[in-house]
A = this chain, B = another copy of it.
Amino acid sequence: MGEKAVSNKMIVLKDYVKGSPKESDMLLKTSAVELRVPDGCHNAVLVKNLYLSCDPYMRTRMHKIEGSYAQSYEPGSPIVGYGVCRVVDSSDPNFKNGDLIWGLTGWEEYSLIKSTEGLFKIEHTDVPLSYYTGILGMPGTTAYCGFYEVCSPKKGDTVFISAASGAVGQLVGQFAKLFGCYVVGSAGSKDKVDLLKNKFCFDDAFNYKEEPDLNAALKRCFPNGIDIYFENVGGKMLDAVLGNMNMKGRIAVCGMISQYNNLEEPEGVKNLLCLVLKRVRMEGFIVVDYYHLYPKYLEMVLPLIKQGKITYVEDVAEGLESAPSALVGLFSGRNVGKQVVVVARE
């Protein structure tokens, strides 16, 4: 260990994952790190990680996958994900010691981020810092661009959101309500359905696990059909939704969590002919194509948070040690609201 070296706990991926991820697919390791940016490493920052974000797309990086927007994780190396961090040392003049940032970091106590490109400086600290893993970070921007840019909403549109109590879903629903849409969400437990109806003020919600017939559930909630589907789950739900879409409907494909544990043999979706019969547009998107809108989004959402017009629910796990369990829990739907891991509070 050099003079400034400290111990650094980290969560590493053991090997590529098949099927449902398990806590044992990850390992807590302790290494050492010098709390400074190495010489010759330009535009880098060494950060202390405060909050880490658990997001469904991370499952796809645990798989050996090609041609995706995200590269596979490297077995033996720390998991990579969004987080909120404090800069400890910097070789980039735009970031200085003490700055708070959010962006992609490692699942460890301290990380050397070798390129500051893609990091966002946190300017507003009169809101909980952890929000920058969610409503004020990647998932919030995803909800914003997915709804306003991809869904092409009109006032009065009927909007259906699956996985609606998750980080993105809860926000899409509230944005859609504020926009003047009729909003229904699905989730996987009674508690989550209550949250959707009572806390996020959705017009209606149902527990997909208790509906013997998803098509019938959608027909009950949308007697006049669905104009917009914000797709987070894929599989059977997508099939049922396709049959209930309205003419010129729009499907923003944000994710397909139901398929992530079975990437080798995903479920077949049968009702795609509805795309033609109803002239439906179905569009996959990812937030990195829309980060130029982040300042505009903050301008909109910060006042809404402060005025209490938007509610945001987090599920907080304490300590880096709890991160594997928190991540794995996403795929059984154990989290209620946005899953965050606290590594350190400051």
A-to-B contact residues, CB < 8 Å:
60, 65, 67-69, 234, 238, 247, 253-256, 259, 263, 265-286, 289
Contact = CB atoms under 8 A, between A and B. Distances in A.
Given A234-B273, A272-B256, A273-B256, A284 B289 contact: no
Contacts of A68: 277-278
Nearest to A259: B273
Contacts of A275: 253, 282-284
A214 to B, nearest CB: 16
A126 B128 CA distance: 73
A85 B286 CA distance: 50
B270 A60 contact: no
Given A273-B256, A273-B259, A273-B263, A279 B268 contact: no
28 contacts: A60-B277, A67-B277, A67-B278, A68-B277, A68-B278, A69-B247, A234-B272, A234-B273, A253-B272, A253-B276, A254-B276, A255-B276, A259-B273, A266-B272, A266-B273, A268-B270, A269-B269, A269-B270, A269-B272, A275-B283, A275-B284, A276-B284, A279-B283, A279-B285, A279-B289, A281-B284, A282-B283, A283-B283
B284 A279 contact: yes
A331 to B, nearest CB: 15
A238 B69 contact: no
A296 B263 CA distance: 45
Contacts of A67: 274, 277-278
Nearest to A283: B281
Given A238-B272, A270-B268, A282 B282 contact: yes
A179 to B, nearest CB: 22
Given A60-B277, A238-B272, A279-B289, 4 more contacts: A67-B274, A256-B273, A266-B270, A278-B284
A284 B272 CA distance: 9
Nearest to A275: B284
B234 A277 contact: no
Contacts of A273: 234, 256, 259, 263, 266
Nearest to A277: B68
A281 B281 contact: yes
B289 A276 contact: no
Of all A-B residue pairs in the complex, the 4 with the closest CB atoms, nearest first, are: A268-B268, A275-B284, A276-B284, A68-B277
Contacts of A266: 270-273
A152 B317 CA distance: 45
A271 B265 CA distance: 9
Nearest to A281: B283
Which among A68, A234, A284 has the greatest number of chain B C-beta atoms within 10 A? A284
A49 B89 CA distance: 82
A307 B172 CA distance: 53
Contact of A277 (B254, B283, B284): B284
